[in-house]
């Protein structure tokens, strides 16, 4: 009888030990924490490859917040690579697929999603948008509707970029600017650039482009007109074709300034002054997390990403026989000397 009791006691201890081991395994492996519902789907629409760094920032931010990508969250990227017609079609397809959340990078992407989503009202977080008013938003504290996000100051900072060019060349009288009159921010671009030029006593020579082929034609005319400097504008057709623009400016010794910090002076422009898209994407992750937890985008205040970075390619300046003033060198966050 005693032996039988000992056997039962040993079996009970063994059972408890095995149960404890199994429980320990599941607790530490996270198996007990697996969600019962399927992963949340985020459909992302960008304008071109330039916004990929912003998406990298968003992913990094979500991971820091504890989200496991491809497990709890599935991100589906849609990249029209600067094709405006394809952007509009992708926006419609995204809304039709009914994801849990839509994230847009660029004003063009946000505007197309806004048009396509008016009936479905899928939650949207926009990133890298220059003017939230173009999306029908009037109150940044309570945007209402189905959208909120992070606004950048790249277009409003255009006069500042003109000032940098003016410091580089105090005798500057004309600036050549390529612009796309079909871009959703066209009116805002004209206003910001013209106001900046007026204050500095500079004339802007506008060259309208809507296609890659038009960029080549416009640059041929610009080089012939020989403006004192060149500035870029925030539109994929222009921003995505630096390889067609920068070499011609270098050959003609026309100083230039761009706003795409994530590409930087490696694109071939003399100077870059703008907001880092990776940082903006990472900033947006907090808003995305709120929406994923069920908060209404219309109740989440819009944020601004206005920390501007200034870089100079001193190597290119020497090749173009341009002397960079000490004042600009001191202002720069980074000077490339090799």
Q: How confident is the model at residue 132 (pLDDT cuts 50, 70, 90)?
A: confident
187 has a pLDDT exceeding 80: yes
150 has a pLDDT exceeding 60: yes
Cβ-contact 53, 278 below 8 angstroms = yes
Q: Which two tokens stand for residue 331?
A: 């202002």
35 has a pLDDT exceeding 50: no
- Average of per-residue pLDDT across 254-266: 90
State which of 30-39, 208-217, 261-270 shows the largest mean pLDDT: 208-217
Q: How confident is the model at residue 185 (pLDDT cuts 50, 70, 90)?
A: confident
230 has a pLDDT exceeding 60: yes
Lowest mean pLDDT among 22-36, 64-78, 226-240: 22-36
At 32 the pLDDT is 47
Q: Distance between CA atoms of 188 and 251, rounded to whole angstroms?
A: 31
27 has a pLDDT exceeding 70: no
At 306 the pLDDT is 72
At 31 the pLDDT is 44
Q: Which residue has the higher pLDDT, 38 or 141?
A: 141
At 12 the pLDDT is 52
At 180 the pLDDT is 93
Residue 196, CA distances (Å) to 8, 159, 242 in order: 89, 4, 23
Q: Which residue has the higher pLDDT, 144 or 338?
A: 144
- pLDDT tens figures, 279-299: 999 999 999 999 999 999 999
At 154 the pLDDT is 80
Lowest mean pLDDT among 146-150, 233-237, 326-330: 233-237
Q: How confident is the model at residue 7 (pLDDT cuts 50, 70, 90)?
A: low
**Domains defined along the chain, listed by start:** 40-152+277-305 (3.40.50.2300), 158-276+308-336 (3.40.50.2300)
At 244 the pLDDT is 94
Q: Which residue has the higher pLDDT, 3 or 51?
A: 51
Rounded to whole angstroms, the maximal C-alpha distance in the chain is 109
Q: What angle do CA 50, 53, 58 make, to 5 degrees?
A: 130
Which among 305, 283, 234 is positioned nearest to 58, based on CA atoms?
283
Helix H or strand E encompassing 167: helix 158-168
Cβ-contact 276, 127 below 8 angstroms = no
Q: Which residue has the higher pLDDT, 267 or 113?
A: 113
E strand intervals along the chain = 40-45, 73-78, 101-105, 124-129, 147-152, 174-179, 203-208, 229-231, 256-258, 271-275, 303-305, 308-313, 334-336
99 has a pLDDT exceeding 90: yes
What is the DSSP pairing of strand 147-152 with strand 40-45?
A: unpaired
- Average of per-residue pLDDT across 129-142: 88
């Amino acid at each position: 009888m005693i032996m039988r009791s000992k056997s039962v006691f040993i079996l009970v201890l063994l059972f408890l030990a095995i149960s404890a081991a199994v429980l320990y395994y599941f607790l530490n492996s996270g198996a007990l924490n697996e969600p019962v519902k399927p992963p949340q789907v985020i459909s992302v629409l960008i304008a071109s490859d330039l916004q990929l760094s912003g998406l990298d920032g968003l992913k990094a931010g979500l991971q820091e917040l504890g989200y496991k990508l491809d497990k709890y969250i599935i991100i589906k990227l849609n990249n029209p690579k600067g094709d405006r017609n394809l952007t509009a079609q992708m926006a419609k397809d995204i809304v039709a697929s009914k994801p849990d959340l839509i994230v847009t990078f660029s004003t063009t992407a946000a505007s197309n999603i806004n048009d396509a989503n008016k009936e479905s009202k899928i939650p949207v977080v926009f990133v890298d948008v220059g003017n939230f008013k173009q999306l029908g938003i009037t109150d940044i504290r309570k945007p209402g509707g189905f959208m909120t996000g992070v606004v950048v100051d790249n277009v409003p900072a255009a006069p500042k970029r003109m000032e940098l060019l003016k410091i580089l060349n105090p005798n500057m009288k004309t600036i050549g600017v390529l612009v796309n009159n079909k871009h959703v921010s066209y009116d805002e671009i004209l206003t910001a650039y013209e106001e900046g030029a007026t204050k500095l006593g500079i004339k802007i020579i506008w060259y309208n482009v809507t296609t890659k082929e038009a960029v080549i034609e416009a640059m041929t005319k610009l080089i012939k007109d020989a403006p004192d400097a060149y500035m870029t504008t925030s539109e994929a057709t222009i921003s995505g074709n630096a390889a067609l623009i920068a070499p011609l400016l270098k050959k003609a010794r026309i100083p230039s300034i761009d706003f795409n910090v994530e590409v930087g002076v490696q694109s071939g422009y003399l100077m870059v002054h703008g907001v880092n898209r990776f940082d903006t994407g990472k900033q947006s992750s907090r808003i995305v997390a709120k929406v994923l937890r069920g908060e209404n985008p219309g109740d989440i205040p819009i944020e601004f990403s206005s920390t501007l970075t200034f870089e100079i390619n001193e190597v290119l300046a020497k090749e173009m026989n341009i002397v960079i003033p000490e004042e600009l060198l001191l202002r720069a966050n980074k000077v490339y000397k090799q």
